[in-house]
Amino acid sequence: MATVTIYDVAAKAGVSIKSVSRVLNNEPNVSPTLRTKVEEAAASLGYRRSLSARSLAGASSSLIAVLVDADLTIEHWKSGRGSDYLGRLEFGALMEARQVDYHLMIELVDHNSPDLERDLMALLNSIRPEGVILTPPNSDNIAVMDVLDAAGTPYARIGPEAAFDRGFCIEMDERRAALEMTRHLIDLGHTRIAFVTGPVAYGASRRRLAGYRDAMAEAGLEVAPAWVVEGDFTFNSGALAMEKLHQTAPDITAIFASNDDTALGVLQCAARLGLSAPGDVAVAGFDDSPGAGFSTPDLTTIRQPVAEMAAAAAQRLIPPLRRLLKGDANARVIVPHDLIERQSTAQSVR
Amino acid sequence: MATVTIYDVAAKAGVSIKSVSRVLNNEPNVSPTLRTKVEEAAASLGYRRSLSARSLAGASSSLIAVLVDADLTIEHWKSGRGSDYLGRLEFGALMEARQVDYHLMIELVDHNSPDLERDLMALLNSIRPEGVILTPPNSDNIAVMDVLDAAGTPYARIGPEAAFDRGFCIEMDERRAALEMTRHLIDLGHTRIAFVTGPVAYGASRRRLAGYRDAMAEAGLEVAPAWVVEGDFTFNSGALAMEKLHQTAPDITAIFASNDDTALGVLQCAARLGLSAPGDVAVAGFDDSPGAGFSTPDLTTIRQPVAEMAAAAAQRLIPPLRRLLKGDANARVIVPHDLIERQSTAQSVR
DNA sequence: CTGAAAGCGCTAACAG
DNA sequence: CTGTTAGCGCTTTCAG
């Protein structure tokens, strides 16, 4: 396992190490002959540049760091609310990164740790990533962005809520998606459509609610106050909302919940109340979380394009990829979503 | 953003860089005074060693690579069968790694690419990880293990199927878990219990089936041939199995499916056939995938301790952590699982 | 117990 | 177009 170094390649090709370096980095001023010689030597030796040497010598570290929130992850488990969000995110970023030999490093941060800034600074100091991908809730963490800006490290924020002038913002149009889903229900013949919100503190909740209202207004449908019930993105809150709606607005024919967990709760409670879905009440969710496809009935929902968002982030953070984007590398990107139609909204209203 | 180097710390502490290095690496022969001085200087400067410099100078790279299969991930999405497996795995490894300032790198590999060996070798050459975590199906990829062995890079295999003498094997006792689940059904009063298998090619499938048979035998219950139906870990195969069982073995009172997706399919088909669960038929799954907690009824299942397995892997791969393990660092680890009792097996047989 | 010197593999600046 | 010379920040010799 003798390590193959640039010297070995240079020796084999009969040139200087600088020439090898030039070829490897696609620098100008290299004769085709030399290029060929070097490439052949490198290939035959199975040579690969050492990341650390490169990084130490001042070139790119070829590293993208993904900052994942520890608290949120733990909370998700405890509440039994896991998702493949992270897996999809990483995959999307990785598919881009691997093309140009970049690597992905996953780091845990506590978004409300008092040492956050010190820790983050230390992290940057120690691994020197070329770019950082911020996942919620760190996508909106001012302290994190400040440290990153101070370090001069570019960052992409997945699903940011505000301050859209900082970093690269990679989003989906949640308001629009909620509008489309509501419109979908209206097209199915529903007119009395209830909405279960998420926690008011979340911008996503507010945007989804706004989209619902947009669609209703657009169709000239009034929204009775009783139709909008507060939830908190959990299964339980969905069940409670269903119960409440059953009492205060029994004449509704469709319920649009702010996320899938909530919608699943609605579904379960409806069954308990003897209401069939979609027969008595159509139900729609948001996120396309795992499980949405396996409920009875399976859930009509909006698929968040997580992998695509991560890919867009990677394209903006990795210089060789950004160059390919040319002028399209806007700082704010809206990635298209999908409406996935399943059984929970299957038939039109009787 | 002037980078803080070991020289800055040495200057501030009034010692040589070698002394700083000694303190940082917990080397012997350091006077307490010196140690304190250095530690204070380092802390006040917010100093953090550069990973690349350390790695280049021949010390540990402080890197653990996680090899994730690209094909499998893509396939999971297409089939709508996402899970939080990867998220849990990374979290478990990260919680250990961060304690000793190790980092996690995620790499995609195609387990059946023809260039697998070349690519992997190049990867090792370029990032020089201290250890590698192999996730299925690469946990059993001989070619991968050969490359790793040749490079002298330690590796931990999550959920290996065979060749238990290679690398660190981190497993759960699937046979035992299946036995316990079956026993649980028997304790509930069931005697006619069906089993839906996974794909025969998977060792996990075979072990789960064996556990089922163990428990039945142990209770002196015979297994009618019609009770064991072949599935393939998908939702659809569960629905098909339920249909088949309804025709060929209508008198069964419980169904144990090899994984949650399959169990969810069973559940849905049962509902379609007018069978209530758990009233007419109790249903149990395996994996505790997201969604298992949100079905109607929610699913009794076995929780795979993925995070714990990853933690065990990290402990064995990261030298400073392994030292803490002392003699307990066996090459083969069985991590305890949990049986999660939910509504789908709620009441005992009528 | 402590320090000075050498060099890991690479790129950057400066020559030719 | 190509090569030489210094380092990057650290750990490892090897001397005190």
3-state secondary structure B192-209: CEEEECCCCCCHHHHHHH
Q: Is B127 exposed, middle or buried (0-12, 13-18, 19+ CB in 10 A)?
A: buried
Same domain, A154 and A201: no
Confidence of residue B32 (pLDDT cuts 50, 70, 90): confident
Distance from C-alpha of B104 to C-alpha of A103, rounded to nearest angstrom? 11
Q: Do A84 and B80 touch (CB under 8 A)?
A: no
Q: What is the pLDDT of residue A220?
A: 97
Q: What is the pLDDT of residue A349?
A: 43
Q: What is the pLDDT averaged over residues A70-81?
A: 79
Residue B257: its chain A contacts at CB < 8 A? none
CATH classification of the domain holding B222: 3.40.50.2300
Same domain, A111 and A184: no
* Helix axis angle, A306-317 to A85-97, nearest 10°: 40
Mean pLDDT value across chain A: 91
Q: Considering the domain boundaries, does residue B262 fall inside one?
A: yes
Q: What Rg value do the Cα atoms of chain B yield, rounded?
A: 25
Same domain, A110 and A208: no
Q: What is the pLDDT averaged over residues A156-181?
A: 95
Q: Considering the domain boundaries, does residue B102 fall inside one?
A: yes
The gap between B18 CA and D15 C1' (Å) is: 13
Q: What is the pLDDT averaged over residues B215-240?
A: 96
Q: Do B296 and A271 touch (CB under 8 A)?
A: yes
Q: What is the pLDDT of residue B349?
A: 43
Domains identified in chain A, total number: 3
Confidence of residue A129 (pLDDT cuts 50, 70, 90): very high
Q: Considering the domain boundaries, does residue A333 fall inside one?
A: no
Q: Considering the domain boundaries, does residue B348 fall inside one?
A: no
- Find the DSSP H helices in chain A: 6-13, 17-24, 32-45, 51-56, 70-78, 85-97, 116-127, 142-151, 174-187, 203-218, 235-248, 260-272, 306-317, 319-325
Q: By C-alpha distance, which of A316, A97, A173 is closest to B107?
A: A97
Confidence of residue A342 (pLDDT cuts 50, 70, 90): very high
Confidence of residue B350 (pLDDT cuts 50, 70, 90): very low
Nucleotides of D under 7 A from a protein CB: 1-5, 7-13
Residue B294: its chain A contacts at CB < 8 A? 235, 261, 264-265, 268, 291, 295
Q: What is the pLDDT averaged over residues A334-344?
A: 96
Same domain, A191 and A290: yes
Q: What is the pLDDT of residue B327?
A: 65
Is the shortest CB-to-strand distance from B25 to strand D under 7 Å? yes
Q: What is the pLDDT averaged over residues B207-211?
A: 96
Same domain, A186 and A298: yes
Taking the alpha carbons at both ends of chain B, their separation in whole angstroms is: 72
Interface with chain B: mutation pick from A44, A49, A50, A52, highest number of B CBs within 10 Å: A52
Nearest by CB: B291 against A103, A126, A290: A290
Indicate if the pLDDT at residue B283 is higher than 60.
yes
Question: Which has the higher per-residue pLDDT, A190 or A11?
Answer: A190
Q: What is the pLDDT averaged over residues A36-41?
A: 87
Q: What is the pLDDT averaged over residues B313-334?
A: 86
Indicate if the pLDDT at residue A237 is higher than 60.
yes
Is the shortest CB-to-strand distance from B24 to strand D under 7 Å? yes
Q: Is B114 exposed, middle or buried (0-12, 13-18, 19+ CB in 10 A)?
A: exposed
Distance from C-alpha of A226 to C-alpha of A186, rounded to nearest angstrom? 18
Distance from C-alpha of B159 to C-alpha of B204, rounded to nearest angstrom? 9
User: What proportion of chain A, given as a percentage, has pLDDT over 90?
Assistant: 64
Taking the C1' atom of every nucleotide in all shown strands and the CA of A57, the nearest one is D8
Of A22-26, A28-32, A243-247, B305-309, minimum mean pLDDT range: A28-32
Q: What is the pLDDT of residue A350?
A: 43
Q: Which helix (H) or strand (E) holds B158?
A: strand B155-158
Confidence of residue A327 (pLDDT cuts 50, 70, 90): low
Confidence of residue A250 (pLDDT cuts 50, 70, 90): very high
pLDDT tens, residue by residue, B185-195: 999 999 999 99
Question: Which has the higher per-residue pLDDT, B133 or A297?
Answer: B133
The letter for the amino acid at A32 is: P
Domain range for B216: 174-304
Indicate if the pLDDT at residue A330 is higher than 80.
no
Q: What is the pLDDT of residue A171?
A: 95
**Pairing assessment for the beta strands A338-340 and A301-303 based on DSSP bridges:** antiparallel
Is the shortest CB-to-strand distance from B57 to strand D under 7 Å? yes
- Long-range contacts (CB closer than 8 Å, 24 or more residues apart) made by A153-160: A153/A124, A153/A129, A154/A130, A154/A316, A154/A317, A155/A131, A155/A317, A156/A131, A156/A132, A156/A312, A156/A313, A156/A314, A156/A316, A156/A317, A158/A89, A158/A133, A158/A134, A158/A306, A158/A309, A158/A310, A158/A313, A159/A135, A159/A204, A159/A309
Quick one: which residue's CA is nearest to C7's C1'? B57
Q: Are A314 and A96 in contact (CB under 8 A)?
A: yes
Same domain, A37 and A114: no
Q: What is the pLDDT of residue B89?
A: 95
Distance from C-alpha of B26 to C-alpha of B100, rounded to nearest angstrom? 12
Q: Do B290 and A83 touch (CB under 8 A)?
A: yes
Same domain, B198 and B270: yes
Cβ neighbours of residue A132 under 8 Å, at least 6 residues apart?
Answer: A64, A65, A66, A67, A148, A153, A154, A155, A156, A317
What secondary structure does DSSP assign to B63-75, as a single string?
Answer: EEEEEEEHHHHHH
- Find the DSSP H helices in B219-304: 235-248, 260-272
Q: By C-alpha distance, which of B250, B290, B269, B263 is closest to B195?
A: B263
Q: Are A9 and A45 in contact (CB under 8 A)?
A: yes
Q: Considering the domain boundaries, does residue B141 fall inside one?
A: yes
**What DSSP state is assigned to residue B255?**
E
**Cβ density class B234-254: b for 16+ within 10 Å, e for less:** bbebbbbbbbbbbeebeebbb
Q: What is the pLDDT of residue A242?
A: 97
Q: Do A46 and B4 touch (CB under 8 A)?
A: no
Confidence of residue B326 (pLDDT cuts 50, 70, 90): confident
Look up tokens 């069978």; give the residue: B275
Q: What is the pLDDT of residue B2?
A: 65
Counted residue by residue, chain B has a size of 350
Same domain, B249 and B165: no
Nearest by CB: A150 against B1, B4, B46: B1
pLDDT tens, residue by residue, B117-154: 888 988 898 999 999 999 988 999 999 999 999 999 99
Q: Do B106 and A94 touch (CB under 8 A)?
A: yes
Q: What is the pLDDT averaged over residues B292-311?
A: 92
Q: What is the pLDDT of residue B328?
A: 64
Indicate if the pLDDT at residue B71 is higher than 60.
yes
Cβ neighbours of residue B252 under 8 Å, at least 6 residues apart?
Answer: B192, B193, B194, B227, B245, B281
Residue B53: its chain A contacts at CB < 8 A? 52, 56
Quick one: which residue's CA is nearest to C2's C1'? B19
Q: What is the pLDDT of residue A329?
A: 65
Q: What is the pLDDT averaged over residues B303-320?
A: 95
- Cβ < 7 Å from strand D, A residues 40-59: 53, 56-58
Q: What is the pLDDT of residue B333?
A: 94
Same domain, B165 and B196: no
Of A28-37, A134-143, A193-202, minimum mean pLDDT range: A28-37
Q: What is the pLDDT of residue B208?
A: 96
Indicate if the pLDDT at residue B155 is higher than 70.
yes
Q: What is the pLDDT averaged over residues A69-77?
A: 84
Same domain, B313 and B196: no
CA atoms in the 13 A half-sphere facing the CB of A337: 25
Confidence of residue A184 (pLDDT cuts 50, 70, 90): very high
Confidence of residue A76 (pLDDT cuts 50, 70, 90): confident
Same domain, A218 and A159: no
Same domain, A133 and A231: no
Q: Considering the domain boundaries, does residue A237 fall inside one?
A: yes
Is the shortest CB-to-strand distance from A122 to strand D under 7 Å? no
Nearest by CB: B126 against A48, A108, A264: A48
Q: From the CA of B42, how many Å to the nearest CA of chain A? A: 11
Q: What is the pLDDT of residue A216?
A: 98
Q: Considering the domain boundaries, does residue B346 fall inside one?
A: no
Q: What is the pLDDT averaged over residues B302-326?
A: 93
Question: Which has the higher per-residue pLDDT, B30 or B333?
Answer: B333
CATH classification of the domain holding B36: 1.10.260.40
Q: Is B28 exposed, middle or buried (0-12, 13-18, 19+ CB in 10 A)?
A: exposed
Cβ neighbours of residue A150 under 8 Å, at least 6 residues apart?
Answer: B1
Indicate if the pLDDT at residue A321 is higher than 50.
yes
Q: What is the pLDDT of residue B290?
A: 82
Indicate if the pLDDT at residue A271 is higher than 60.
yes
Q: Considering the domain boundaries, does residue B333 fall inside one?
A: no
